[in-house]
Amino acid sequence: MRPVLIGLCGGSGSGKSTVTEQLYANTGSERCTVIRQDNYYKDQSHLSFEDRQKTNYDHPFAFDNDLFIEHLKLLREGKSVDMPEYDFSVHNRKKETIRLEPKDIILIEGILLFSEPRILELLDMRIFVDTDSDVRILRRIKRDMKERARSLDSVIDQYMATVRPAHLQFVEPSKRYADIIVPEGGYNKVALDLIQTKVDHILNSRKK
C-alpha cells in the first residue's frame, strides 16, 4: 500500500508544529515521517545577505514548490528523498540535506500547503490549525528571537509588512479546503484525539 499523506496547514505561530509533533510522537517513527514546507525555501546563494533579508518569505513565490512536490510524489511512490535544510539566521539553504524514508503515514507541514493546487491533489487528509492572530504573533516573536536570532523590532516589522498581509491573502482563504479544523492553536485535546483515532484506524487496517 502507498503511504497516506496528511497535510497540516495554518498561519505562522498557529501551533501546527505542535499538532505535527504530537501526531508523530503518538504514531511512532517506525510508521510515520515528517516533511516540512519551510525546508523548501528557494536557494538564494546568488543574493547578498542584505538582499536575502528583503525576500517575502510568506509569499508562495519564496518556495521551491517544484522540488517540494517532486519529493512528495517520490515519497508517495515509496521512494526515499533528500530533504533540504534551511538556515533562517542567514536566509539560505544549508549544504547538508536530510534523508527521508517513506513510511505508512507522511505528515506534511506548512503555512501555504492548501494554497497550492498541486499539493492539495496529493493529500489524503487536510488539517487546518486555526489560532487567533494575537496568539500567533506572540508565538512568532518568541520563536524568532529564540531560535532564529531575530530582534524584536525586525520580527514586528516583518509581521506587519509581509506575514499579516500574506496570511489574509493566502493562508486564511485556504482554510476552506480543510477536512478538519483544529481550534485553539493545537491544544484542543478532543480534536487531536479524533485525528489520532483516524490515523490509528488507517494503520490498523494495513495490518489485516
Which residues carry a binding-site annotation? 10-17
Residue 187 CB neighbour total at 10 angstroms: 15
15 Rama class: left (phi>0) / alpha (psi -120 to 50) / beta: left
List, as residue ranges, the binding site for ATP.
10-17
Provide the residue type at 41 as one letter.
Y
| Cell 531560535 belongs to residue | 147
Using alpha carbons, select from 13, 170, 34, 189 the residue that is nearest to residue 102.
34
d(CA 208, CA 196): 19
The DSSP symbol for 103 reads: -
For residue 145 the three cell numbers come to 528571537
SS3 73: helix
